[in-house]
Structure 1
Amino acid sequence: MTAARPSNRTTTAPVAPPATGARDAAPPGPPASAAVPLDVMLLAVAIAGVSLSAPLIAATAAPALAIAFWRNAMAVAALTPFVLLRRSLRAELLGMDRRTVLLSAAAGGLLALHFGVWLPSLHMTSVASSTALVTTTPIWAALLLRLRGHRPSALTWAGMGVAFLGVLLLTGVDLSVSPRALAGDALALAGGMAGAGYVVLGAEVRRTVSTTAYSYVCYGVTAVLLLATALLSGAALGGYSGETWLKLAVLTVTAQLLGHTLINRVVKGLGPSVTSTAILLETPGAALIAALWLDQTPPVIAYPALAVILAGLALVILADRRTGRPAAPPPEPAA
């Protein structure tokens, strides 16, 4: 559930939580063929970071709501020095109008929902299934944009159809495994839907607000809502082992800050299409890490379903390249 990245079109730009004060309104980047090797290397590091997220969450001995709260709270703590030390950033935050603050808060609420339903799914179904379903965000975002008057191309609709077919295949596989796995699939899918609302609202805010200012407000609201939910549900927010705290810190650095920040960095040079397509590697990456680290290997029949979902998402991104306009925001990493 999952954090997102800037796009070269302000109407559909995704949202990412960078640890720097860079502005979000980046000019269109050069073609992928002109990208420097450094951008490719940084993108590989970013994908590795977000791919580590789901297996790391599944291996962390803490309640799902607590994990969601701490990763957001730690991200806010990491951004606070930039707010305190940069006068321009403080002025921007204080100068945000009522509509911008409300939209940022609403995005934070959707992000809290995204994390609140996706993280528990990692303990109910396989990491591979959960990651594949939560990264259907571009499909739901395209549908939301359609409601706002945007007309997806035929290729976009085809990609959505293929991805939905993969979802049906995967949920059928997990139903044969256990009802609990199917429930986990449903939570992951809901996380993808909430993530779509998050990136669409964030795109509107980021027309006039920098990424850091927006992220600070959004993640602050997310942390507060998750804190309240965790307290009401009785989830333990402390008393963890040193190993658990270390995993929470690593999760925040690798997925919440490092992964998303580097994606923010390279999208200007590589372009949103190449970056978005590369982010799809999060699903097989997470599945591979889970298999090697957690001994968690999905049934063999699940792999064709995962491939179908990735193929559908790739078609949605290809539609972006052919039409020259985003069919949907680049898929937000599940991290």
Structure 2
Amino acid sequence: MHHRLDPLTLAAIGLAVVSVSSSAPLIAYAAAPALAIAFWRNFLAVGVLGPAALVRRRAELRDMVIGDRRREARYSALAGVALAVHFATWMPSAQLTSVATATALVATQPVWQGLLALAQGRRLRPVMWLGIGIAVVGALLATGADLGTSGKAIVGDLLALAGAMAAAVYTGLGERARTVLSTTTYTLVCYSVCAAALLVVCLVGGVRLGGYGHTTWLAVLGIVAGAQLLGHSMFNYALRKVSATTVSMLILLEVPGAALIAWLWLGQVPPAAAYPGLALLVAGVAVVVLGSARAARRPPEPVV
């Protein structure tokens, strides 16, 4: 049973929602290549997490290299690669299509996680199929609204969906690693591999990694401090008082939150035809999240 929400927990949840909602608008605002921003947000996060992990988790890190946690090290590294794919697809999408559409489409991650579970032989409850159907219809309507705007927006929509798929893979691999590893150790390894992979992509692709104006660097630091570190840390803090399902539902507030920030700050308004699709998409994902939670609470079926 969860405790009654106190003002500190409510403040943490509010701060977390605002922090993650600021990510896409900051990406759209920054005058830098999205791949470079993706590299710097992970590299700088490693710089923050590294010293603490080396001091407090040295034995755990050693076990990942020469001890009995090498399997979890592989899962963490693979999760880092999947995270790199997520950032390399979703972050450019925020600069190609509207912030609202990019955020809504990448929020379909639970839908792809459900389909991955189906591919692994698990059965999905009817309510989850309902949610997936609603989300698919919403995604089609939202992307269809971009057909009348530009081909660039359609590419952004597709990249956002690819980012959601990669995030589902990243989450699945991370769950396997986190069965043994601490959050700090797993995050450090994952972000390090992600930063290294993105650095290679940037160097091979000739992506400019420096020479930006001070406002762009402030935007990058805002992404690191907000979405990368503060937002998820506050959600993790809130998990002490609220269920994981509630946190998953609260994360969906990133969609209207990012849209509101983009409207107030960037003057960015998605096409009117996109609103019904975005609403259906978020509703469908919410149904999937709730259906997944109910399935997790069900007792296992007897083996016959």
TM-score by length of 2: 0.93
8 Å contact 1:114–1:190 — kept in the other structure?
A: yes
Q: Match of 1:40, as an amino acid?
A: L
Q: In structure 1, which of residues 11, 35, 55 is the aligned counterpart of residue 25 of structure 2?
A: 55
Q: How does 1:1-335 map to 2 (within 5 A)?
A: 30-31=1-2, 34-86=4-56, 89-96=57-64, 97-325=69-297
Rounded Cα–Cα distance in structure 2 between residues aligned with 1:227 and 1:74: 13
8 Å contact 2:63–2:70 — kept in the other structure?
A: no
Structure 1 unaligned segments of length 5 or more: list them. 1-29, 327-335
Q: Highest Rg: 1 or 2?
A: 2
Report the secondary structure of 1:139's partner residue: helix
Q: Match of 1:226, as an amino acid?
A: L
Rounded Cα–Cα distance in structure 1 between residues aligned with 2:27 and 2:86: 14
8 Å contact 1:117–1:187 — kept in the other structure?
A: yes
Rounded Cα–Cα distance in structure 2 between residues aligned with 1:130 and 1:320: 24
4+ residue runs over 4 A deviation: none
**How many aligned positions are there?**
294
Report the secondary structure of 1:273's partner residue: helix
Percent of matched pairs sharing the same residue = 50
8 Å contact 1:47–1:281 — kept in the other structure?
A: yes
Report the secondary structure of 1:122's partner residue: helix
How far does residue 37 in structure 1 lie from its aligned partner after superposition?
3.4
8 Å contact 1:55–1:289 — kept in the other structure?
A: yes
1:83-134 Cα deviation digits (max 9, x unpaired): 2322xx0100111233221111111001000000111111111000100001
Structure 2 unaligned segments of length 5 or more: list them. 299-304
Partner of 2:302: none
8 Å contact 1:129–1:170 — kept in the other structure?
A: yes
Rounded Cα–Cα distance in structure 2 between residues aligned with 1:322 and 1:241: 49
1:299-320 Cα deviation digits (max 9, x unpaired): 1121111100011011112214
TM-score by length of 1: 0.85
Q: Could you say what the CA RMSD is over the residues aligned between the two structures, in angstroms?
A: 1.4
Rounded Cα–Cα distance in structure 1 between residues aligned with 2:229 and 2:124: 32
1:286-305 Cα deviation digits (max 9, x unpaired): 01110111111011121111
How far does residue 321 in structure 1 lie from its aligned partner after superposition?
4.3
How far does residue 41 in structure 1 lie from its aligned partner after superposition?
1.8
Higher helix proportion: 2
8 Å contact 1:39–1:270 — kept in the other structure?
A: no
How far does residue 40 in structure 1 lie from its aligned partner after superposition?
2.0
